Each structure stands twice: as structure tokens, then as C-alpha cells.
Chain A
Amino acid sequence: MLLTVDRLEKSYGDGAQRQRVLDGVSLTLAAGESLAITGESGSGKSTLLHLIGLLDTPDAGDIALNGEAISALDEAGRAARRRDTVGLVFQQFNLVPSLTVAGNLALQARLAGKHDPAWIDTLATRLGLSGFLTRYPEQLSGGQQQRVAVGRALAARPTLLLADEPTGNLDEATSADVLELMLELCRDAGTALVMATHSASAADQLSRRAHLTRGRLS
């Protein structure tokens, strides 16, 4: 199994303010599979993705990536997995504003030491970014920026792509484009995908679907 999530719990805040965001979430994902996590705002979608993406640590429960329990990893180990195994696409793109499109595309692959110019070329072509490589993020439209983010996440050939509302900041038509491209690329590269979304139509395009309500999967 590529990903095993076992009775995950996570709370935020202190004392009376304390709020349980995830309350015993379990799921599994095989290599190449795609899973949509739906739910309303505040249902814990992002938190779940952050935990799977090793950006945060759970209060209880565990996650295994490629059979390796991430609770056993220290900070450096988690950073290494983020670099090598996981790709992240955020709602707000999170591009480095001072790097060009080409620089952003190659960033994670370089960090992971897996820089493959031919693959990045392919990604740029397929994402329709070939004409924009020397531009800066602020000179791109939202859809173009998100395509750069998708390309950056896939450049290091991760086994798992995590997308947190990747189309949340985009209009409908652009959303469809970006989503289609992302799914296509994941399929071709054999990359598994976990995508948080509140859009049912987007979720429909993935192979599986799970719904989060108040920190529990259904």
C-alpha cells in the first residue's frame, strides 16, 4: 500500500478554545490511485492533507508512506520525504515570486537532486507554459500560476501528489483545464493523488471519493 492513514487525530487551540479537527481518520491508497476528499470549509480537509504531506504532525494515530511510519521520522526525515516522495499543490499557488516560471518549475526537483531538464520540458509543454518560462509569477494569470505549481510538484516525480483545493482560486473554465491536466499527468506518471476539494464535479473525476464531516470520514 502506498499510503496508510490510521486513526488520525489532530486538535488546534488551547483549553476551552481547543477544537478537534480530525477525529480518528483512517484511509488507504494504492500506487497510481486517485482520491478526492470532499467536505465543507472547516471539515479538516486541509489539516488531513498537511498531515499526509508531513507539514504537520498528528496528535494520535499514524501515517505510513510506502510502508514507512512517519511518526518514526525526525524533522530532517520529514523534510527529506517532502522533497523526494510527496508533491504539494496549494490553493494559493505558493510560487517563489522572485524566481521565473522556469526557476519555479525546477525548484523542487533541484532541491530533491532529481533535476531532469527533459522531464521539465515535457511538463512545461504539456502544461502549456513553454512560452512563459522567463516570466515571473506576478506576470501570469491565476490559472497559469497554478499550472506552474502543478508542474513544480510533479517535477521531482513524486509517488504521491497532494492537492489542497487546487482550483479554489480559479474560475470554472480554468479550474477544469488545470484539473484535467493534473489528472492526466498523474495518470501518465503513475503518481497517486489525494485532492481536497469542495467541488463535487471536481471530485467526480477522481477514482475514489471520501467525505469529511467534522473530522470523521464517511
Chain B
Amino acid sequence: MIRITTLFLIALTLHAAPAAGQGFAGLGTEVAGFATPQPAPQFDFPADHGAHPDYRIEWWYLTAVLEDADGTPYGAQWTLFRSALEPSDQQGWSSPQLWMGHAAVTTPSAHYHAERLARGGLGVAGVDAEPFQAYIDEWSMRSARERLPATADSLAALDLSARGDGFSYTLALDANGPLVFHGADGFSVKSAGGQASYYYSQPFYSVSGMLDLPGGEVAVTGQAWLDREYSSQPLSETQLGWDWVSFHLDSGEKLMGFQLRQSDGSVYTSASWITPEGQLTAFEDGQLNMTALETTEVAGRQVPVRWRVELPARGVDVEIAAVNRQSWMPTLFSYWEGPVSISGSHGGRGYLEMTGYGE
């Protein structure tokens, strides 16, 4: 039997440099023939909510922090990755587009996950811009046009569903704020060398829906954050992985921050501070501090599950702790992804993603 688990990884390292330091999941490798992100992008919606086959990698990444009637915290993830073997698209078997879906539900005591793979051009997986629909198999994230005024952005209301071993969920998401654009109007630099991606988000969803877990159905409400990012080589070859956070602060403000860990031990950081009205301020390298406070063994490796996150420019000095320390995604390329609680200068809930640990 072929090891499907190696396929996606290999696909991503298609043009891999033979030397070490290719970054997590081969994201830091040279590209040929693919378009590369340019500064000062002009987004064209709704078309840009759809797929960009000319770019090597792209994702629709949604995380939701939820709670049930008793206040028990939950997390939910819905992600569709696109990876292109060649910068083109066509219908039928010869499509070079590969799709990978990840879904998860995190509870304080359990972490359910699922993964689906498909090739493009066949109607099994893909993203349509209008009406907006991202799908792989029976999982889907579709625009709930019926809940929106005609002029609204198609991502402003979404219906989300996914299913896997031991879990399924259906969630309704309604945005009460605008899209926000990271970096310089959506051009997000990922290293001092200038590697960059297009990166925008919708962080203002309020969520309600049902989780179906082995213990029964759970009605949940909460907040969600959608990341849209596409690029052809978002990481520098010397970057080994990243730690990424998204915060829904009690004040109504949002914070997105990440640090890219580099092979010389240094980090490259980036942060976005978003007001409740949707005003985004980008903070360049060095302004955000992320300090690991405690690691725990997850899937045989040491992973930080408590962090101190500081953004002095906005008076942020918080400690975040995993709701479930074992929120591991043992997928094709594996990573840690789960909800966190926030305390300190600000309170709130958020999501933490960590990649590149103990590969």
C-alpha cells in the first residue's frame, strides 16, 4: 500500500533543495513557475475568496472558540489546504491541484480530528468563489447568502460542517465586522529576506451550532476567526516552524501574532492589532514577544503549552494556556492546534497553532 501520508509532503517538497533547513512541511523551498506575492495587492472580491491555482499553496483556515450552556470550553477547526504540483488548473484526472482537509473538535479532555485528501478538477474538493463554497467530500464551508444583504461580502455569513471518526459539527457563523488585511494591506512579510504571502482574515464571527460527540450532541456558541492566505513560498529556507496565535479579547479587540523560528535560534515576529471596528495596525518584526513557559510531552515530543505573549506597544502582557494540552493533529504533516484561555493584562479566548516541533 502506498503511504499516502507521504504524498502531500512530497508534493510540497517538489522542488526541494537537497540541504537541510527546508522549513516545516517543505514550506521554505524554492519555487519555479508559480506566481509570487507582490506588495500593494489589489484584492478582487468575491473572486479572491476562491482558489488561486497559480500560487503553490493556499488555505481557508477557520478556528472557533466555543462553549456550551455550562461554560465548558470547546474548540473547533475547519481547514482546507490547496497544494499545486504545477501552476495550472484543468478539469479531469490531470489536474495538478491537490486538496487536503483537516477538521477537529477539542474538548478539555479529548481531541477529535479527521483528514481528507483529494485531487482537484473532479468536483470532489475545491473552492468556488461565487456563490462561495469550499468543500472536500461532505465537508463544506459555504456562504449563507440567505442571511446576508445582497451587497455584503460573501464570507460575512457561513455555514460550516465537517465529520470524522467520533465527531461531527454544524456551525452557523455571522460576521459583525469587516475583513481585515495583515501586513501592508494584505501583503504579509514572513522573513527578513522578504518572503511573503497574501494574508487577510475575517476575525469577527459569532458562532452558534451543534457538536456531535461520542457523549451526545452539544449546543455551543462562541467566536470564530477565518484566515485566508496564499503564497508560493511563504517561509525562508532557514525557518523551521512557527507559533501562531489569534486572540478574541474580552474588550472586543483582536490580536493575531506569530513568530517564525529560525535555524540560528532567532525568531521573526509579526502581529496585527484589530480594534472592534476593524481597524488593523501591523507590528513588524521584534515588536511581539512570545515566551514558552511550560512544555509537555505530546505525541512523543516536547511542545510548549503555556506561553507569555507581549505586545508592549498595546500594553498586552498575557499568559495563555491550552484548554487541552494534547491538541495534536497527527495528520500528514502533524502540528499542534487548539483553543487557549487568556489571562493577565487582558482576558479572553483564542487559538494557538504550533508547527515544526520535533519533526
The answer to whether A and B touch directly, with their CB atoms under 8 angstroms apart, is no
Chain A residues in the interface with B (C-beta under 8 A): none
Chain B residues in the interface with A (C-beta under 8 A): none
